[in-house]
Amino acid sequence: MKRISEAEMGGKQAETSNPRDWGSSIWCLLVLVIGALVVTAAALTILKYLHFSKNNEAHPINKKYADALELALQFFDVQKSGKLVDNRIPWRGDSGLQDGSEENLDLSKGMYDAGDAIKFGFPMAFTATVLSWSILEYGDQMNAVKQLGYAYNSLRWITDYLINSHPSENVLYFQVGDPGLDHKCWERPETMTERRPVTQVNTSFPGTEVAAETAAALASASLVFKENDPDYSSSLLTHARQLFTFADTYRASYSISIPQVQGFYNSTGYGDELLWAASWLYHATRDDSYLRYVTELNGQRFANMEITTWFSWDDKLAGTQVLLSRIIFFGAKDMPTVENLDLQMYRKTAELVMCGLLPDSPTATSRRTDGGLIWITEWNPLQHAVASAFLAVLYSDYMLTSQTETLYCSGNSYKPDDLRNFAISQADYVLGENAMKMSYLVGYGSRYPLYVHHRGSSIPVNADTSCQDGFKWLYSDDPNPNIAVGALVGGPSLNDSYSDTRDNVKQSEPSTYNSALLVGLLSGLISTSSVVKSYT
């Protein structure tokens, strides 16, 4: 707006010397201004309404995925340990209330990883990281179908536990329970009586991957709670920083330091967890030292540029590549050249991953069933399919939000919708569009697994069993008396078949990390809206 000088004002006053005329002019001017404001406000309201209506028409809620999401989130309640609050699962009760007491710690919360009653910190932390990522990207869509609160509560149930498991800077308790003792029993968590020892990593027995993954979980969760609970967010971030320093300073695989873990969640290396954790700490802090860590300092050593891998609880490289591509998509303008080039390499590898997933790409992986499901291993095969689909829908939305129109795969061009369609194909397979004509998400559809390998689900609530005599329920011919709502079982064989038997552990055991990946995938498919550009 142009300012009127004192000289100009004097001239105008001289021209309108009659006070009554001057007042009339002001009144007329006010009327005109008010009228203009009213018209503008009305126009903006109409435009806003039209924009909202258009978005609703363009991005309707997909009820199939919304219903599946509601179920998938309930599995976290099935897996909770501790004093249950607002319990949604009628056959679950309090358990593990004394966990950690032998070390004067409260490790009663957290979640059992699968069908047994052990708390394995490595996959539990990964579950929290993926759940945080899902909320950060798709929280609005979760909220639209009234599921965001449940996602928050499940995440916090884990992060409360992770905070308590880190009593000092260089000590992290990563396991509650003895797998050898636990697997000799078949009993409900509510009635278990065997000793539950706790296991830690420290400076004498380091565990880089489990400490780094826990750092990633707490750093990503600090972003989730930053607005609603800043004090809690700050505490999470403090623990994340300390754990990352511990992980990086005392580099050693926990599988080597503590060999007894090799039979359950054996790690194949810790470089990916260090990059993954540093990437999340950069997003949580915007501290350039974490960005330098993943680029010029350690990118060449740990990133395996141009070598594609499969995203899982053990291998975070593909997830790291997609997460760091986010920076290139949305905010690399003022970045130093060296770091920018290294991030471009991460994005290039992420694109190779995406090209491998697209079924008609020249570089498409052949590791699929005839039904089109990504299939990598006979143990828990759905993990890799759902993880791949989750990364694909994320990358699709990064392209869409940044107005990146094309992905090139060996000369062929693809659109964001092509990645999204791949993700849909995997989700639909899980939900029943497969050779077995059954849903692998327990509780979804008219046909789903009835003999889930899960202690609490398989034993009646009123059964009076001890450690050994509970095995009759493992081998019972009757379906599970308690429905493990939202459980995503291991999944089908390479020939698309599935044997619904309780002792078929490879196929019928569910896990929390499978569920976290499925929650992210379904949340991304609820509607076709784009992701937020910045977490901070």
453 catalytically annotated = yes
Q: Cα(256)–Cα(509) distance, rounded to whole angstroms?
A: 27
* Residue of 166, 283, 384, 453 with catalytic role: 453
Q: Cα(427)–Cα(145) distance, rounded to whole angstroms?
A: 18
- 117 Cβ partners below 8 Å, 6+ apart? 81, 95, 96, 177, 182, 187, 189, 192, 455
> Which amino acid, 401?
T
Q: Cα(197)–Cα(119) distance, rounded to whole angstroms?
A: 11
* Helix runs in 107-228, H state only: 121-144, 148-164, 179-182, 208-224
DSSP 189: G
82: β partners: 95
Q: Give the 3-state secondary structure percentages of the chain, helix then strand then coil, rounded to 5.
A: 55, 5, 40
Asked whether the CA dihedral 491, 178, 101, 255 is positive or negative, the reply is: negative
Closest CA to 227 of 288, 146, 323, 148: 148
Cα distances from 195 to residues 62, 100, 161, in angstroms, run 47, 11, 19
Cα distances from 247 to residues 125, 274, 290, 492, in angstroms, run 14, 8, 14, 36
Q: Cα(115)–Cα(264) distance, rounded to whole angstroms?
A: 13
Label the pairing between strands 198-201 and 172-176: antiparallel
> Is 485 exposed, middle or buried, given 0-12, 13-18 or 19+ CB atoms closer than 10 A?
buried
Q: Catalytic residue positions?
A: 453
